[in-house]
Structure 1
């Protein structure tokens, strides 16, 4: 599967475009639309580079989800998971109760897991709460 425009728009809406490197709430250097690989203080990019980073990152997470999820997904489920894994990372997802529930075909249970992922550095963040509600809604669509 590939991420639909709904999935891309969700990522863009919650990551926002930043052309200069910044520390995200989890204290990770970030640039563009949530790109973190190799980013360091002082980095600057163009909007075109941000789009290229986004496309590459989305492809990586699509591949990770395809590898980890052992059951068929709807487009909405796939889009929601790409946004989710884009934010929390493959390692966290690979060890998650959410993934176990998905692979057990407990999709309702998996949808309820989104609300557990609203913390960064031990702090509950309103932005993550909004993102998880949006991802759950897409997952259930």
Structure 2
């Protein structure tokens, strides 16, 4: 399965677009729609078109990971929500999550409810993460 436009749009909405490098809250040098990696250098600038290309490449990598992890059938909305979630927290965290365990066990409602538990940074709920997790949960259940 591949990420739909809805999946890309939720990532764009919650990551935001930055055309110059910045340090994300986790301290990683970042550009575009939350793109990180060795190709991101301090003082770098990109265009919106380049940011969209990076997003497409990043999402393909996450889609490959999610397709390998999910062992049950999912809807497009579920898949897109999982892509946004893993894009934000990392594929490794999705792999270890109760959300994935519940989903693969067939408990889709339980998996949906797990999204809401991933709204904290340093133990404190953040409004932006709460909004993103709520949107991902809604997309997952759509």
What TM-score comes out, normalization by structure 2 length?
A: 0.94
Equivalents in 2 of 1:26, 1:124: separation in Å?
15
Give the number of equivalent residue pairs: 141
Equivalents in 1 of 2:121, 2:18: separation in Å?
19
Structure-2 residue corresponding to 1:44: 45
Per the TM alignment, residue 18 of structure 1 is displaced from its structure 2 partner at its CA by 0.3
Equivalents in 2 of 1:121, 1:44: separation in Å?
30
- Residue 87 in structure 1 maps to residue 88 in structure 2: yes
1:79-135 CA distance string (max 9 Å, x none): 100111110001111111111001101001000101111122443211000000000
Structure-2 residue corresponding to 1:96: 97
Structure 2 unaligned residues grouped into runs of 5+: none
Structure-2 residue corresponding to 1:23: 23
Equivalents in 1 of 2:80, 2:45: separation in Å?
29
Structure-1 residue corresponding to 2:58: 57
Equivalents in 2 of 1:121, 1:53: separation in Å?
28
Say which SS state the counterpart of residue 22 (structure 1) adopts.
strand
What TM-score comes out, normalization by structure 1 length?
A: 0.95
